[in-house]
Chains A and B, each alone.
Chain A
Amino acid sequence: MSERTGMPTEQLHFEDVAVGDAIPTLTTTVDQTQMFFFSAATYNGHRIHYDTSWASDREGYDDVLVQGPLQSALLARAVTDWIGGAGRLVSFSAQNRAVAFPGEELSFGGTVTATRLADGRGLVDLEVVGRRGDDVLMPGTATVELPVRAQSSTAAGS
Chain B
Amino acid sequence: MTVESLIPAEVQERVGTVAAVAVGEVYRRDWQRWAVSVEDHNPLWFDAEVARAHGYDDVVAPPLYVQYAVLGVTPLDGLRADGSSGAVSGSLAFPDAPRRMAGGESTTFHRPCYHGDEITMERRIESIVQKQGRSGPFVLVTWRTTYTNQRDELVAEATTSMIARP
Contact = CB atoms under 8 A, between A and B. Distances in A.
Interface in B17-52: 30, 33-34, 36-44, 50-51
Given A47-B82, A96-B103, A42 B34 contact: yes
Interface in B49-95: 50-51, 53-55, 62-64, 68, 71, 73-74, 79, 82-85
B136 to A, nearest CB: 12
A74 B101 contact: no
Interface in A49-97: 51, 54, 58-59, 67-70, 72-74, 76-77, 80-81, 85-86, 88-96
Interface stretch (B106-114, B121-129, B144-152): B106-114
Dominant secondary structure of chain A at its interface with chain B: mixed
Question: What band does the interface of chain A fall in when counting residues whose beta carbon is under 8 Å from B?
Answer: 35 or more
Contacts of B41: 4-6
Interface of B: 30, 33-34, 36-44, 50-51, 53-55, 62-64, 68, 71, 73-74, 79, 82-85, 99-109, 163
19 contacts: A28-B39, A34-B39, A37-B36, A46-B83, A47-B82, A54-B83, A69-B102, A72-B64, A73-B34, A73-B64, A74-B38, A76-B63, A85-B43, A91-B106, A91-B107, A92-B64, A92-B107, A94-B104, A96-B163
